[in-house]
Amino acid sequence: MSQSAPATRSNGLATAAFVMSLVGFSFIAAIMGHVAMGQIKRNGESGRGLAIAAVVIGWVSFATGLFWIFVFGLAAAGL
């Protein structure tokens, strides 16, 4: 009978950050993703891919949102 390797625990903050990035809380998701990556590195947990995805999606969404606020602000000012 062969034994399988023990399952590593998945980081819950990474999962929450990924979900938050998809829902629209981009800035919070990016910060949570950074914190989750630190926890994963320190504790040896799984979920690094989710944390990276949350960081990337979060910062890209945040930058896109700032861009559109700037564009619409210029349009509203008549420039």
User: Is this model's pTM higher than 0.85 or not?
Assistant: no
pLDDT in tens, 8-59: 889 999 999 999 999 999 999 999 999 999 999 999 999 999 999 999 999 9
Asked whether residue 3 is domain-assigned, the answer is no
Note whether residue 6 is domain-resident. Answer: no
Place of tokens 């625990």: 9
Note whether residue 64 is domain-resident. Answer: yes
How far does Cα 25 stand from its chain's mean position?
Answer: 9
Domain containing residue 60: 12-77
Q: How far is CA 1 from the centre of its chain?
A: 41
How many domains, the chain?
A: 1
Is the pLDDT reported for residue 78 higher than 90? no
Euclidean distance between CA atoms 42 and 75, whole angstroms: 47
Q: What is the mean pLDDT of residues 68-78?
A: 90
Give the residue-averaged pLDDT of 59-71: 95
